[in-house]
Amino acid sequence: GNVTLPATSSNGEHYTILNTTNANITVARNGNNINGAGSDITVATYNAVTCIGIGSNNWIALGV
């Protein structure tokens, strides 16, 4: 399945998303930015990403 990040976040709030399936997972940004961009990210099959809140409800994604 796909994942949608919360519309609001606190600094340092984080989520780790593990993809243990044979298909890609979309992480939806819920109207905010991820890594400074206004687009969703994809977690490839058998991969993982950690999304960390950085203020203004935006996110940094590690491992993409």
CA distance 13 to 15: 7
pLDDT score, position 1:
82
CA distance 14 to 62: 11
Confidence of residue 61 (pLDDT cuts 50, 70, 90): very high
Q: pLDDT tens-digit profile of 1-52? A: 899 999 999 999 999 999 999 999 999 999 999 999 999 999 999 999 999 9
pTM reported for the whole predicted model? 0.93
pLDDT score, position 64:
80
pLDDT score, position 21:
94
